[in-house]
Amino acid sequence: MFDTLSDRLAATFKNLRGKGRLSDADIDATAREIRIALLEADVALPVVKDFIASVRERARGAEVSQALNPAQQVIKIVNEELVTILGGETRRLRFAKTAPTVIMLCGLQGAGKTTLAGKLAKWLAKNGHQPMLVAADLQRPNAVQQLQVVGERAGVVVYAPEPGSGVGDPVKVAKDSIEEARRRQHDIVIVDTAGRLGVDAEMMQQAADIRDAVSPDEILFVVDAMIGQDAVTTAQAFLDGVGFDGVVLTKLDGDARGGAALSVAKVTGRQIMFASNGEKLDDFDAFHPDRMASRILGMGDVLTLIEQAEQHFEAEQTAKMAEKLLKGGKGNEFTLEDFKQQMLQVRKMGSLGKILKMLPGMGEMKDQIDSIDDKELDRVVAIINGMTPAEREDPKIINGSRRARIAKGSGVEVGEINQLVDRFFEARKVMKQMAGGLGGMKGGMPGMGGFPGLGGGGKKSRGKAQQTRPGKSKGKQRSGNPAKRAQEEAAAEARAAAGAEAAFDPANFELPAELKGLLPPDAK
């Protein structure tokens, strides 16, 4: 959704790189480009004005003028201001002191409230709660049946005493659901209310009546992130008519410009709490303003990637794999069966494209990432499943006839078998090198053993290092005069030091955010 905005901002910051000092003209030009990028992303005009004014003021201050790298400081300022307009701190659900906690969903028809209710319920269930869905949307045809289907898919109980489609009293259903939840020992009640095609007095009154009947602990306004600045108008109308405590964004995986996400929190003063970014019930998570700002600026989202990996990768199996690689030797080789298990665990995390986009620096490879076929992993698993246990254990025995048999059994060409086996051996070689660096660490940087230019090399690399040692270059022999030789070595050391100083520019060095968080405030 934020691809266009990310591309515009990346192009703007690219023009700043390499400048040792930023003039007022540079700052004005940068602010103008950022303003255009935000307006094109359909961000509300008042939000854009406040954002640009804050960025321009801070960019002209001491934090940029006295910085070693002004361009990085400007990016840092834009990142911090993005976090601010997205809500600042991550907002968590408030739970009632006495169960059940009541969560009421409201919003326009078509915003995705019913599906969102199922996603929220499943997310809460994964976090140790016992939610119950309440079908209080009795106006829209088949809304009750839709919630029942969604609840069944999510594995969550649905309270639906009325058939809906214009039949039943939604206020009574919502009120009775609280007692039903207590009786069935559910600690959370999620009330799905009716929406309309536009903001009208009848819809607002019904939502207000349900609010008064159940006294919800949280009222969440569900907004379609694809409707642009209309989202701000609708949100303000709901805030005035019913009131809400937090915002939930749906359809963040769409191709719209995403201005709603950057406007709603700032205009209404209510933070975005959750975001839905796909059609599956698992495509839902808490909204983190700092992580979203990082994505918009093309810096990736490593923390979310780690959290997803922790959820889907089995700790015991991962530990066994690590131990196996570190031990090495016969019987501890990385096999095709191990390779398959890793593919299956990656597949559980979702689309390969989404995973790669969370990595820093992948913003410039969006076209290649978008062209990735997730079915490729399924084909790899099918090929490995077509092999015998002996072939998976020792791929070297896979000869021509075996490859033909595997290809026929898995429905692929022989060439794909060749490519898989070749890639597997390359992957195993790299993993051996990494394990060697972690296990031995002789003469190299920790974890970098065997990699060219990073230490831990063999005899050949050590011999090459000796040839380039100061005072023993191939083109010039050392003097036999001890005094003269000492001068030559001192001069060589000075040249080496000057080269190292030129290669390392402290202005370009910056600690990762995760490491900065470990430093005391006065050391950052």
Residue 49 assigned as binding residue: no
468 contact partners, CB below 8 Å, separation of at least 6:
none
Is 252 annotated to bind ligand?
A: yes
Residue found under tokens 């994505």 = 295
In whole angstroms, how far apart are CA 74 and each of 71, 247, 442?
5, 29, 41
User: Which residues make beta-bridge pairs with 118?
Assistant: none
- State yes or no: 109 annotated in a binding site: yes
Q: Count Cβ neighbours within 10 Å for each residue of 382-402 and write b for 16 or more, e otherwise.
A: bbbebbeeebbeebeebeeeb
| DSSP for 385-422, written as a single string | HTS-HHHHH-GGG--HHHHHHHHHHHTS-HHHHHHHHH
Handedness of CA 341, 345, 351, 354 (dihedral sign): negative
Beta-ladder partners of 223: 249
Residue 400 marked as a ligand binder: no
Rg (CA), the chain: 30
| Whether the Cβ atoms of residue 245 and residue 239 lie closer than 8 Å to each other | no
**Which residues make Cβ contacts (< 8 Å) with residue 364, sequence separation at least 6?**
10, 298
Nearest CA to 117 out of 265, 220, 202, 266 is that of: 220
For residue 500, the Cα-to-chain-centroid distance in whole angstroms is 36
192 is in an annotated binding site: yes
Q: 122 among the known binding-site residues?
A: no
Distances (CA, A) of 194 to 108, 131, 255, 270: 8, 20, 27, 21
108 is in an annotated binding site: yes
Residue 319 in marked binding region? no
| Contact predicate 450/437, CB 8 Å | yes
Annotated ligand binding at 90? The verdict is no
- Find how far residue 89's CA is from the centre of its chain: 17
Query: CA-to-CA distance for 362 and 369, rounded, in angstroms?
Result: 8
22 is known to lie in a ligand binding site:
no
**45 marked among binding-site residues:** no
The answer to whether the annotation marks 12 as part of a ligand binding site is no
Contact 222, 116 (CB under 8 A): yes
Q: Count each helix (H run) and each strand (E run) in the chain, helices first.
A: 24, 8
Cα dist from 95 to 211, 216, 247, 362, 382, whole Å: 17, 10, 17, 38, 46
194 annotated among ligand-binding-site residues: yes
Binding positions: 107-114, 192-196, 250-253
User: What are the binding residues for GTP?
Assistant: 107-114, 192-196, 250-253
